[in-house]
Protein backbone atom coordinates (compact mmCIF):
# COMPACT_ATOMS: atom_id res chain seq x y z
CA UNK A 1 0.00 0.00 0.00
CA UNK A 2 1.43 3.38 -0.99
CA UNK A 3 1.56 6.07 1.69
CA UNK A 4 -0.88 8.22 -0.30
CA UNK A 5 -3.58 5.61 -0.81
CA UNK A 6 -5.64 6.91 2.11
CA UNK A 7 -5.93 10.42 0.62
CA UNK A 8 -5.92 9.96 -3.17
CA UNK A 9 -9.39 8.97 -4.43
CA UNK A 10 -9.63 5.70 -6.30
CA UNK A 11 -11.02 7.54 -9.33
CA UNK A 12 -7.92 9.75 -9.46
CA UNK A 13 -5.59 6.77 -9.15
CA UNK A 14 -7.43 5.06 -11.98
CA UNK A 15 -7.03 8.11 -14.23
CA UNK A 16 -3.29 8.21 -13.65
CA UNK A 17 -2.96 4.46 -14.15
CA UNK A 18 -4.93 4.50 -17.39
CA UNK A 19 -2.92 7.47 -18.67
CA UNK A 20 0.29 5.54 -18.06
CA UNK A 21 1.76 7.59 -15.21
CA UNK A 22 3.84 6.28 -12.29
CA UNK A 23 6.11 4.09 -14.39
CA UNK A 24 9.31 3.48 -12.37
CA UNK A 25 12.02 5.76 -13.72
CA UNK A 26 14.90 3.69 -12.38
CA UNK A 27 18.32 4.37 -10.94
CA UNK A 28 21.55 5.42 -12.54
CA UNK A 29 25.15 4.46 -11.84
CA UNK A 30 26.57 7.66 -10.30
CA UNK A 31 24.29 8.88 -7.51
CA UNK A 32 24.63 11.89 -5.24
CA UNK A 33 22.78 12.48 -2.00
CA UNK A 34 21.04 15.85 -1.63
CA UNK A 35 19.90 16.96 1.84
CA UNK A 36 17.50 19.89 1.63
CA UNK A 37 17.07 22.19 4.64
CA UNK A 38 17.62 19.59 7.35
CA UNK A 39 18.16 22.35 9.87
CA UNK A 40 16.77 22.96 13.35
CA UNK A 41 14.26 25.47 12.03
CA UNK A 42 12.41 22.65 10.28
CA UNK A 43 12.43 20.07 13.08
CA UNK A 44 12.70 22.12 16.25
CA UNK A 45 15.16 21.71 19.10
CA UNK A 46 14.47 19.71 21.19
CA UNK A 47 12.14 17.19 19.55
CA UNK A 48 8.54 18.00 20.44
CA UNK A 49 5.04 17.45 19.00
CA UNK A 50 4.45 19.93 16.21
CA UNK A 51 1.91 22.13 18.01
CA UNK A 52 4.44 22.66 20.81
CA UNK A 53 7.42 23.00 18.50
CA UNK A 54 5.93 25.67 16.22
CA UNK A 55 5.40 28.04 19.14
CA UNK A 56 9.13 28.74 18.91
CA UNK A 57 10.09 27.29 15.50
CA UNK A 58 7.48 28.49 13.00
CA UNK A 59 8.87 26.27 10.22
CA UNK A 60 8.95 23.12 12.37
CA UNK A 61 7.46 19.81 11.32
CA UNK A 62 7.75 18.40 14.84
CA UNK A 63 8.20 14.71 15.51
CA UNK A 64 7.73 13.64 11.88
CA UNK A 65 10.77 15.78 11.09
CA UNK A 66 12.87 14.00 13.68
CA UNK A 67 11.67 10.63 12.36
CA UNK A 68 12.93 11.81 8.97
CA UNK A 69 16.27 12.89 10.42
CA UNK A 70 16.81 9.46 11.96
CA UNK A 71 15.96 7.72 8.69
CA UNK A 72 18.19 10.10 6.74
CA UNK A 73 21.08 9.42 9.11
CA UNK A 74 20.99 5.78 7.99
CA UNK A 75 21.17 6.92 4.37
CA UNK A 76 24.03 9.32 5.09
CA UNK A 77 26.02 6.50 6.70
CA UNK A 78 25.53 4.32 3.63
CA UNK A 79 26.44 7.18 1.28
CA UNK A 80 29.66 7.80 3.17
CA UNK A 81 30.45 4.09 3.12
CA UNK A 82 30.04 4.10 -0.68
CA UNK A 83 31.94 7.41 -1.01
CA UNK A 84 29.31 9.20 -3.03
CA UNK A 85 29.10 13.01 -2.89
CA UNK A 86 26.79 14.72 -0.41
CA UNK A 87 25.24 18.12 -1.04
CA UNK A 88 23.41 20.16 1.61
CA UNK A 89 21.24 23.24 1.55
CA UNK A 90 20.49 25.70 4.34
CA UNK A 91 18.06 28.56 4.66
CA UNK A 92 18.82 31.93 6.25
CA UNK A 93 17.91 35.59 5.83
CA UNK A 94 19.28 39.03 6.54
CA UNK A 95 17.91 40.82 9.58
CA UNK A 96 16.61 43.65 7.38
CA UNK A 97 14.44 41.34 5.22
CA UNK A 98 15.87 42.68 1.95
CA UNK A 99 16.67 39.19 0.68
CA UNK A 100 13.22 37.73 1.44
CA UNK A 101 11.30 38.86 -1.64
CA UNK A 102 7.75 37.57 -1.66
CA UNK A 103 8.37 35.41 1.42
CA UNK A 104 7.69 38.64 3.33
CA UNK A 105 4.09 38.54 2.13
CA UNK A 106 3.14 34.97 2.97
CA UNK A 107 3.58 34.51 6.72
CA UNK A 108 2.29 36.49 9.70
CA UNK A 109 5.38 35.56 11.76
CA UNK A 110 7.96 36.59 9.17
CA UNK A 111 9.78 38.77 11.71
CA UNK A 112 10.52 35.86 14.07
CA UNK A 113 14.33 35.93 14.49
CA UNK A 114 14.91 32.18 14.12
CA UNK A 115 16.07 32.31 10.50
CA UNK A 116 18.36 35.35 10.71
CA UNK A 117 21.93 34.62 9.62
CA UNK A 118 23.89 33.19 12.56
CA UNK A 119 20.88 31.82 14.47
CA UNK A 120 21.01 28.24 15.78
CA UNK A 121 17.88 27.49 13.76
CA UNK A 122 19.90 27.64 10.53
CA UNK A 123 22.39 24.99 11.64
CA UNK A 124 22.25 21.58 9.97
CA UNK A 125 21.02 18.98 12.45
CA UNK A 126 24.03 17.28 14.02
CA UNK A 127 22.74 13.75 13.35
CA UNK A 128 23.30 14.33 9.61
CA UNK A 129 25.89 17.13 9.77
CA UNK A 130 28.23 17.67 6.81
CA UNK A 131 31.91 16.78 6.82
CA UNK A 132 34.61 19.10 5.43
CA UNK A 133 34.55 17.56 1.94
CA UNK A 134 30.76 17.89 1.55
CA UNK A 135 29.19 20.78 -0.38
CA UNK A 136 26.89 23.18 1.51
CA UNK A 137 24.77 25.87 -0.14
CA UNK A 138 22.54 28.61 1.22
CA UNK A 139 19.43 29.00 -0.91
CA UNK A 140 16.81 31.73 -0.86
CA UNK A 141 14.00 30.07 -2.82
CA UNK A 142 12.36 26.63 -2.65
CA UNK A 143 14.45 24.75 -5.21
CA UNK A 144 17.99 23.73 -4.30
CA UNK A 145 18.88 24.47 -7.93
CA UNK A 146 17.56 28.05 -8.10
CA UNK A 147 20.40 30.62 -8.06
CA UNK A 148 22.90 28.12 -6.59
CA UNK A 149 25.86 26.31 -8.14
CA UNK A 150 24.42 22.87 -7.39
CA UNK A 151 23.87 21.87 -11.03
CA UNK A 152 27.42 22.83 -11.98
CA UNK A 153 28.88 20.52 -9.32
CA UNK A 154 26.58 17.65 -10.26
CA UNK A 155 27.80 18.05 -13.84
CA UNK A 156 31.44 18.19 -12.73
CA UNK A 157 31.06 14.96 -10.76
CA UNK A 158 29.25 13.25 -13.60
CA UNK A 159 26.25 12.54 -11.37
CA UNK A 160 23.29 10.87 -13.10
CA UNK A 161 21.03 10.21 -10.07
CA UNK A 162 19.86 12.58 -7.33
CA UNK A 163 18.68 10.96 -4.10
CA UNK A 164 16.56 13.67 -2.54
CA UNK A 165 15.94 14.00 1.19
CA UNK A 166 14.71 16.69 3.56
CA UNK A 167 11.81 19.08 3.84
CA UNK A 168 9.18 20.22 3.14
CA UNK A 169 7.66 17.80 0.65
CA UNK A 170 5.15 20.31 -0.69
CA UNK A 171 7.68 23.12 -1.05
CA UNK A 172 11.44 22.72 -1.31
CA UNK A 173 11.36 18.98 -2.02
CA UNK A 174 8.75 19.24 -4.75
CA UNK A 175 10.45 22.18 -6.48
CA UNK A 176 13.87 20.52 -6.24
CA UNK A 177 12.48 17.25 -7.59
CA UNK A 178 10.97 19.03 -10.58
CA UNK A 179 14.24 20.82 -11.28
CA UNK A 180 16.26 17.62 -10.94
CA UNK A 181 13.87 15.96 -13.37
CA UNK A 182 14.15 18.97 -15.67
CA UNK A 183 17.93 18.57 -15.73
CA UNK A 184 17.37 14.90 -16.70
CA UNK A 185 18.60 13.34 -13.48
CA UNK A 186 17.11 10.12 -12.22
CA UNK A 187 15.29 11.47 -9.16
CA UNK A 188 14.79 9.23 -6.13
CA UNK A 189 12.86 10.05 -2.95
CA UNK A 190 13.27 7.60 -0.04
CA UNK A 191 9.81 7.97 1.45
CA UNK A 192 10.96 7.90 5.09
CA UNK A 193 13.54 10.64 4.41
CA UNK A 194 11.22 13.46 3.28
CA UNK A 195 8.60 15.15 5.41
CA UNK A 196 6.16 18.02 5.75
CA UNK A 197 4.28 19.86 8.49
CA UNK A 198 0.97 18.83 6.90
CA UNK A 199 0.26 15.18 6.13
CA UNK A 200 -2.26 15.85 3.36
CA UNK A 201 0.24 18.07 1.52
CA UNK A 202 2.98 15.50 2.13
CA UNK A 203 1.02 12.59 0.70
CA UNK A 204 -0.49 14.40 -2.27
CA UNK A 205 2.89 15.73 -3.34
CA UNK A 206 4.55 12.36 -2.91
CA UNK A 207 1.86 10.89 -5.17
CA UNK A 208 2.35 13.59 -7.79
CA UNK A 209 6.16 13.43 -7.75
CA UNK A 210 6.05 9.66 -8.08
CA UNK A 211 3.59 9.92 -10.96
CA UNK A 212 5.61 12.34 -13.07
CA UNK A 213 9.02 13.42 -11.81
CA UNK A 214 10.80 10.68 -9.88
CA UNK A 215 10.54 7.46 -7.94
CA UNK A 216 9.19 7.51 -4.39
CA UNK A 217 10.36 4.28 -2.81
CA UNK A 218 11.04 2.88 0.67
CA UNK A 219 14.41 3.65 2.21
CA UNK A 220 15.26 -0.05 2.22
CA UNK A 221 15.12 -0.06 -1.59
CA UNK A 222 17.47 2.92 -1.81
CA UNK A 223 19.95 1.32 0.60
CA UNK A 224 19.86 -1.87 -1.48
CA UNK A 225 20.43 0.17 -4.63
CA UNK A 226 23.48 1.86 -3.11
CA UNK A 227 24.92 -1.58 -2.36
CA UNK A 228 24.96 -2.18 -6.12
CA UNK A 229 26.80 1.06 -6.93
CA UNK A 230 30.47 0.61 -7.73
CA UNK A 231 32.62 1.29 -4.69
CA UNK A 232 34.22 4.73 -4.77
CA UNK A 233 32.80 5.38 -8.23
CA UNK A 234 33.74 9.06 -7.88
CA UNK A 235 37.39 8.41 -7.01
CA UNK A 236 38.50 10.32 -10.11
CA UNK A 237 36.72 13.48 -8.90
CA UNK A 238 37.92 13.81 -5.31
CA UNK A 239 40.78 16.31 -4.87
CA UNK A 240 44.01 14.67 -3.76
CA UNK A 241 43.83 16.07 -0.23
CA UNK A 242 40.30 14.71 0.20
CA UNK A 243 40.86 11.14 -0.98
CA UNK A 244 39.06 8.88 1.44
- Residue 62, CB half-sphere, CA atoms under 13 Å: how many? 11
Catalytic residue of the set 36, 172, 178, 219: 172
Sign of torsion over alpha carbons 80, 90, 238, 176: positive
Q: What is the CA radius of gyration of the chain?
A: 18
Between CA 42 and CA 26 the distance in angstroms is 30
Whether 172 sits among the annotated catalytic residues: the reply is yes
Between CA 116 and CA 125 the distance in angstroms is 17
Between CA 80 and CA 72 the distance in angstroms is 12
Listed residue (223, 213, 189, 226) closest to 3, CA to CA? 189
Burial of 217 (0-12, 13-18, 19+ CB in 10 A): middle
Between CA 15 and CA 113 the distance in angstroms is 45
Q: Is 90 helix (H, G, I), strand (E, B) or coil?
A: strand
Neighbours of 221 (CB within 10 A): 14
Between CA 134 and CA 85 the distance in angstroms is 7
Q: Which residues participate in catalysis according to the annotation?
A: 172
Amino acid sequence: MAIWDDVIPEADRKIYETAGWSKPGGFGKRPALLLVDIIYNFVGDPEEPIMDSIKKWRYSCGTVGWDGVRATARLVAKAREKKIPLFYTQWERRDDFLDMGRWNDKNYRVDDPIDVTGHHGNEIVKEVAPQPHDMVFVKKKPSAFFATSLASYLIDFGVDTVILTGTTTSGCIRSTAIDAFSYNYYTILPEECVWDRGQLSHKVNMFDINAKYGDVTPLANVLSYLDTVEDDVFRDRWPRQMKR
